Amino acid sequence: MSDIKLTQIGRFDPGLTDEGGAEINAYDPISQRLFVINGVTDAIDVLDLSDPSNPTFSFSIDITNFGGGVNSVAVQNGLLAAAVENDNSQASGQVVFFDTDGNVLNSITNGDKLNKSESCQLLYIVFC
């Protein structure tokens, strides 16, 4: 097995590292934005990666109106999907769809985790 060498080209510190602030993320090459689950604030933080050596915070998408924390995010062709758990852990969560500017487009009940197909034509919603 060959050695893998990685070189850091940029870094973003959300200031919540000790609290577990930055978690699961999804990158959209069209908008050059990284969508990062923030487990401390129950939001999706949006970072501008147009200059990968200098990632910058753009805005947050507040998830509290849709339930508890975000479990998963996926983005493709300008569409962001977020699996949001219910405040009641025994009840079904929902998948909320946004554009890449954070505007709510739609939502469906049920769903805790997300996965995209290899072709990115399908979004799999996992029910746990």
Asked whether residue 12 is domain-assigned, the answer is: no
Confidence of residue 104 (pLDDT cuts 50, 70, 90): very high
Asked whether residue 67 is domain-assigned, the answer is: yes
Distance CA 23, CA 17 (A): 10
Print the domain residue range for 37.
17-126
Q: Would you say 84 and 64 are in contact if contact means Cβ atoms under 8 Å apart?
A: no
Residue 1 or 101, more confident:
101
pLDDT at residue 120 in the model:
47
Asked whether residue 45 is domain-assigned, the answer is: yes
Asked whether residue 6 is domain-assigned, the answer is: no
Q: What's the domain count of the chain?
A: 1
Q: Where are the alpha helices (DSSP H) in the chain?
A: none
Asked whether residue 120 is domain-assigned, the answer is: yes
> Where residue 62 sits, what CATH number does that domain have?
2.130.10.10
Task: Please state whether the predicted TM-score (pTM) of the whole model is above 0.95.
Answer: no
pLDDT per residue over 62-76, tens digit each?
998 988 788 888 888
Q: Of 106, 118, 120, 125, which is closest to residue 30 (Cα–Cα)?
A: 120
* 88's tokens: 């009641």
Distance CA 108, CA 106 (A): 7
pLDDT per residue over 2-27, tens digit each?
789 989 998 887 776 566 667 788 99
Asked whether residue 5 is domain-assigned, the answer is: no
